[in-house]
Amino acid sequence: MQNGFVESFNGRMRDELLNETMFRTMAHARDLIQAWADDYNEERPHSALGYQTPKAFAERLFTATGSSAAPEESSAQQPVAQPAPIGVSTQRALIPSG
């Protein structure tokens, strides 16, 4: 067990969603998982957060830079990593197949 928060989330998701649901298609799985995650983050209060939802907790939390920790509302997905620095090639190398 490396991270108690992650392990707790994984256990809840497994018990409340994955073990209870028969997914018909990949799209169906994505829809149900998104609905469950939205409920988990926006509707369900968590005792570890003073009985606030994670979304409400993040809106009140400020980072060391003074900006809000809550993600900005946007239809665009947030980047996973910063763009490559200038001069660093982002071209992928071809891998020969046999």
For the stretch 47-94, pLDDT in tens is: 888 899 888 888 887 655 566 666 666 666 666 666 667 776 667 666
| pLDDT given for residue 58 in this prediction | 83
CA 79/CA 72 separation, integer angstroms: 12
**Per-residue confidence (pLDDT) for residue 30, from 0 to 100:** 93
Q: What is the pTM of this model?
A: 0.57
What is the per-residue pLDDT across 18-43, written as a single tens digit (0 to 9) for each?
A: 999 999 999 999 999 999 999 988 89
Structure tokens at 71: 């993600």
DSSP-based three-state secondary structure for 21: coil
- Is the pLDDT at 2 greater than 90, yes or no? no
Angle at the Cα of 87 (from 86 to 92), degrees rounded to 5? 105
CB-based contacts of 11-16 (< 8 A; 24+ apart in sequence): 12/40, 13/40
Q: Delimit the domains of the chain by residue range.
A: 4-60
β-bridge partners, 46 = 52
